[in-house]
């Protein structure tokens, strides 16, 4: 299975991953390889390969992704102590899955690097 289709399967509820939040624009779910006690991925429901594909037509998706990350941080009670939001772009930027996604990490003191 290609990584891109894995995210689509989660969005379409074809796999058993634990969806934390879903609306018509984004889906948020637990990372299967967490780097922190709270590690949630937030993905757009439409395929966008990376940050480089953001344009005038779809730029509002990023704002919504951040808004949902903040909402989840509050629900998970990590907003007061602090959290990290990371978006990697392409291979050298650390993007392992060819599908735009945002990492929300928290629940412990995090290093300055991911």
Could you report the per-residue pLDDT of 93-113, keeping only the tens digit for each?
999 999 999 999 999 999 876
Contact 21, 68 (CB under 8 A): yes
The domains found in the chain, sorted by start residue, are: 3-106 (3.30.428.10)
Q: Is 39 a catalytic residue?
A: no
Q: What is the pLDDT of residues 65-80, one digit of tens each?
A: 999 999 999 999 999 9
Contact 18, 24 (CB under 8 A): no
| Closest alpha carbon to 96 in 107, 87, 109 | 87
| Residue of 3, 39, 64, 101 marked catalytic | 101
Contact 7, 17 (CB under 8 A): no
Q: Whole-number mean pLDDT of the chain?
A: 92
- The whole-number pLDDT of residue 107 equals 96
């Amino acid at each position: 299975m290609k990584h891109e289709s894995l995210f689509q399967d989660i969005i379409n509820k074809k796999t058993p991953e634990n969806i934390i939040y879903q609306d018509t624009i984004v889906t948020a779910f637990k990372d299967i390889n967490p780097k922190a006690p709270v590690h949630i991925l937030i993905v757009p429901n439409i395929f966008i390969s990376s940050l480089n594909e953001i344009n005038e037509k779809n730029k509002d998706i990023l704002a919504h992704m951040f808004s949902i990350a903040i909402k989840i941080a509050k629900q998970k009670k990590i907003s007061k102590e602090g959290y990290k939001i990371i978006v990697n772009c392409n291979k050298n930027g650390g993007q392992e899955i060819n599908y735009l996604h945002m990492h929300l990490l928290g629940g412990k003191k995090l290093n300055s690097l991911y």
